[in-house]
Amino acid sequence: MAFKCLLFLVLLANFSAGFSVVIHFSNAVGSQAPINLRVRSNGYLTGSALLRPLWVYEVEVDNNNNNEYSAHGVYGIAHSDFEAYEPTRDKGHANIYWRADDWGFSFSYDNIEFERDAPWDSE
């Protein structure tokens, strides 16, 4: 019995350590203007998109590293910078949802309840 429990824990640890995290970005801004989005990790560009209203852009994160993924969004003359993936905050979640609206960027783990994180800045 102890062997079965140990085997289960080892298999569970191997499975959970290897899964990827997907960051979903969506544009829910009131106007029809797109958002220019850039995602970086370790200083390298890992993704970019012209995020049109109601579109979703996805970036896959390797859960085995501890790299942060930062994002920079530009909407008209406004911009917003935020950490799209922080290992200490987001580890263990398979999906991270970022929604841009008239306030700025908010995040969620269930795509239902969003927490405000990064407002638009026009300076």
Query: Residue 54 is encoded by which pair of tokens?
Result: 């109601």
| pLDDT at position 43 | 87
| CA dihedral for 103, 25, 118, 96, sign (positive or negative) | positive
Closest CA to 85 of 108, 62, 109, 69: 69
- Per-residue confidence at 2, pLDDT binned at 50, 70, 90? low
Q: With contact defined as beta carbons under 8 Å apart, do 27 and 51 qualify?
A: yes
Task: For 71-115, write each residue's pLDDT tens digit.
Answer: 999 999 999 999 999 999 998 899 999 999 999 999 999 999 999
Determine whether 86 is exposed, middle or buried from the number of CB atoms within 10 Å of its CB (0-12, 13-18, 19+): middle
* pLDDT above 80 for 31: yes
